[in-house]
Amino acid sequence: MIFFALPFLAAVFVFTLAAPSDNSFVVSSTDRSQTIIGKEGIFNDVEATHPLIYAMDINSNISNRFAKTLVLSKVKNAGNTAKEATFTVVLPEKAFISEFVMEIGGKSYKAYVKEKEEAKNIYNKAVASGQSAGHVEVSARDSNRFTVSVNIEAESKAEFLLTYEELLERRDNQYELVLNIHPGQIVKDLNVQVMINESRPLRFVKTPPLRSGNEISKNDDKLDPSSDIKIINSTSAIVKFSPGPERQKQFGIDLRAKENEGLAGQFVVQYDVERDSRGGEVLLQDGYFVHFFAPEDLEPLSKHVVFVLDTSGSMSGSKMEQLKDAMYSILDQLRPNDIFHIVEFNSNVFVWNIDSEESVKVDISNYQEPFEELTQKNNLPSALSVMNESIQKGKSVIGKIDSRGITNIIGGLETGLHLIKIQRNKEKEEYQPMIIFLTDGYPNVGVSSTDEITKIVTDLNAGEHQIPIFSLSFGRSADKSFLRKLSLKNLGLSRHIYEASDASLQLQDFYRQISSPLLTHVNFKYDSEVEEVTKRDFPIFFRGSEIVVSGRFSGPTLQTSIHGRGSNGTLVLSPSLETPVTSLERLWAYLTVKQDLQRREVAENKIELTKKILDLALKYSFVTEVTSLVVVKPNDTSAVETEDASDSHHRLLLPSSYSPRYSSSIPMAGVPGNPGIAGPQGYYPIMYPRSGAAMSIQNFDGDRHGYRYIMQRRPSYKSRVLPIRLPNLAVSSTPSPTIKSSLPWLSSVLDANNSLNISGGVYEIGGDSTVNLNPDCPKSPVNSTVKGHCTLLKDCPQVHHFLTDFQVYQQYFCPLENKYAGVCCPKINQVLP
């Protein structure tokens, strides 16, 4: 038996045939080939049932750092029966979709943006009538996915055109446009064109080697795109990339795709512009302005860096080794005028005396008002100045840390704040403080509510000397939303570190971006004739980055100044005035919506901000968190939403011994995969089709593996759709005799009676026992936002590989009948005919 994967990044087309009315499916492939003659030519049955993308064009126009990208895919149904095509585009996380058009049968169908609830109602009506759009799972970091399905008549063609817009961020002294290209097959006519028009002269334009999109790439000559770069004049350039079929095939192999999938990765264009060395440049046009600020001739500030590192049990193994490797490199990047602390937290909190290479355990219990207690009960070591000797001692300390215990996040953060406050009182010289906080899990010591931790830390960190907190969420189990809110409320940034072989490089890359603060308390002052201005106060400006401010003005010109504190005291800078190459209105709208969405995320009352965002998003046709795209299709209308393309946790697996009662073989388009590879050995993705609708199985395992399974059918009869909940399908029908082999750490934590001591109680693991009730529990390992059922450990084998140690298990522990140690197991919500 073979499952078929369709890992289409830039465009995906899946065709399906009518199938019998079975409730369950086994998908299989066939090697038989028959000749089919149609008006498009002569094909064998494999060619006829596979989607044929005969042309793909990706065109991006960049003006004033604002990129508008159009993805056009042309598909041909060469078969003699109608097929359903699914079109998927992976786009950058910060981009907004602004237009989608389909041309089918000579008619154009243009999508429109609606308020999310209104679009949801449209979608629900479509579902109620038995119509739905399928989803195809693809994987790329820091990305979103757009997917829509449509029926294409026999021997006919269709075109899909998607437009999205983004403001390019400057990092490491350059702008970077990333284009996902992965058609899943060799495309005869594949063209990429990027047009750059800037108001200031270009410093360079280059195209680095192609990337997989899921790991930081090392330069590889085999992946050099050899693109055509033409400098039109000092401010304009055009980049073209048109790999033929043979080059697509070779790129696919070098990017670890299957040979017949063709190119499978990211095409990247990097560039930078010459800039005003002091106050930046202000562009003015038609009542809008944009201010770009990136001074370069400033000395970096001395800084006090407190590394607050999670060393709980879940950090064991490769994560701990990668953290250590990253820290060795990061310590080498500290500057001679810097000072630093190393704090680790697990069940307890420890501050390392770097000079003596010994740790000091922190006595802390009053988490609401900790500073007095921290001062009175603790004699914590001072920060160490950066010298060759102290860096070597710091590396020795990092080498000594080890994973153990559970996760005292509140204690680690409060200790970090305290160390900076007491150091500030000791030192005559002023340092720019920063906390670099890394964790891979959820809090379960002291204060376990992430909302409460955010509130306590933000209140303790209030005032004139607020300390930036830079948060790193490490791996699938980390709470990205919590860390993002924590940093947003505390002047910092957050970044997700993907659990992969390049995790150490990801950590180093993040630190490099914040390692050189040039200015603090940056404020942009404009005359009284400006309005609707985006954020104008920034806590820190880092070398290699850029601050962008935009707004509206009513006068003939604009008076502005920039105020900030540098290494030599207060600075007042004035920008130059420039003429933009295109309109600034959409850039202003984009930046306004983007920043308001951030403010909305941490706001107590979201109503006013939501209305403001909604008004702008509808006016400029931006698909955002408060709007959805309504796709008008022949005989159908559906709401389409973007979704996170970097990670999905909706895994529902059944033991390999599970056999559906009814089955049928369905020819599938796509690339063959292996049963069970999306989960632990011997488990297959569970598949229950929705009658009368396209149906898909999504990538359950997360960010990098890229296991995508899709199975679709369009029955030839009408049927009633009835929601049925089948909670027991997630539970094995027979007890597993190998639970200790599935959970190797279990033996080490069982007492003499084979019981677990957990959360102040003693619980049996269940053995051959059964329970009568499976109560709801807050979150399962596969989805932290959806409730599960509490089951015995042996009865939920599909989560065993998530439970890497006792500390992780405790996050999903639930008691059963006050006797057994359970685990929160995912539910199944099923729709059957």
DSSP 260: G
Q: Which residues pair with 788 in a beta bridge?
A: 777, 826
In the predicted model, is pLDDT for residue 31 greater than 70? no
In the predicted model, is pLDDT for residue 363 greater than 90? yes
Q: Contact at 8 Å (CB) between 805 and 744?
A: no
Considering the chain, what percentage of its residues have pLDDT values greater than 70?
77
Per-residue pLDDT tens over the stretch 635-691: 665 566 666 666 544 333 333 333 333 332 222 233 223 332 233 333 323 233 332
d(CA 658, CA 733): 9
Q: What is the band of 735 on the pLDDT scale with cuts at 50, 70, 90?
A: very low
230 contacts: CB under 8 Å, gap ≥ 6: 237, 238, 239, 240
Sequence ranges of the domains in the chain:
3-273+621-644, 303-515, 739-832
DSSP 122: H
Per-residue pLDDT tens over the stretch 206-236: 999 998 877 666 667 788 898 999 999 999 9
Token digits of residue 558: 């604009």
Q: Contact at 8 Å (CB) between 272 and 284?
A: no
d(CA 147, CA 162): 11
DSSP 682-737: TEEE---PPTTS--EE---S-TTT---EE-----SS----EEEE-GGGGS-SS--T
Per-residue pLDDT tens over the stretch 228-283: 999 999 999 999 999 999 998 888 888 877 767 788 889 999 999 998 777 999 99
Q: What is the band of 44 on the pLDDT scale with cuts at 50, 70, 90?
A: very low
Q: Which residues pair with 549 in a beta bridge?
A: 291
pLDDT in the model for residue 655 = 31
In the predicted model, is pLDDT for residue 752 greater than 90? no
pLDDT in the model for residue 261 = 78
In the predicted model, is pLDDT for residue 697 greater than 90? no
pLDDT in the model for residue 142 = 60
What is the mean pLDDT of the segment spanning 743-749?
82
Token digits of residue 754: 């084979």
Per-residue pLDDT tens over the stretch 437-460: 999 989 999 999 999 999 999 999
What is the mean pLDDT of the segment spanning 152-161?
88
Beta pairing, strands 236-241 & 189-197:
antiparallel
d(CA 32, CA 16): 18
Candidates 1.10.10.60, 3.40.50.300, 3.40.50.410, 2.60.200.30; CATH matching 303-515? 3.40.50.410
Q: Contact at 8 Å (CB) between 224 and 243?
A: no
pLDDT in the model for residue 134 = 31
d(CA 473, CA 483): 7
Mean residue pLDDT of the chain comes to 79
| 330-333: long-range contacts, CB 8 A cutoff, minimum separation 24 | 330/507, 330/508, 330/511, 331/391, 331/394, 331/395, 331/398, 332/391, 333/511, 333/512, 333/515
pLDDT in the model for residue 283 = 95
Per-residue pLDDT tens over the stretch 393-414: 999 999 999 999 999 999 999 9
Q: Which residues pair with 525 in a beta bridge?
A: 561
In the predicted model, is pLDDT for residue 715 greater than 70? no
Token digits of residue 341: 């602390």
pLDDT in the model for residue 221 = 77
Q: Which residues pair with 72 in a beta bridge?
A: 57, 161
Tokens 């490199």 correspond to what residue? 329
pLDDT in the model for residue 707 = 27
Token digits of residue 656: 């390999």
d(CA 112, CA 101): 9
pLDDT in the model for residue 581 = 86
In the predicted model, is pLDDT for residue 538 greater than 80? yes
pLDDT in the model for residue 178 = 95
pLDDT in the model for residue 299 = 94
pLDDT in the model for residue 78 = 85
Q: What is the band of 694 on the pLDDT scale with cuts at 50, 70, 90?
A: very low
What is the mean pLDDT of the segment spanning 513-540?
95
pLDDT in the model for residue 738 = 65
The overall pTM is greater than 0.85 = no
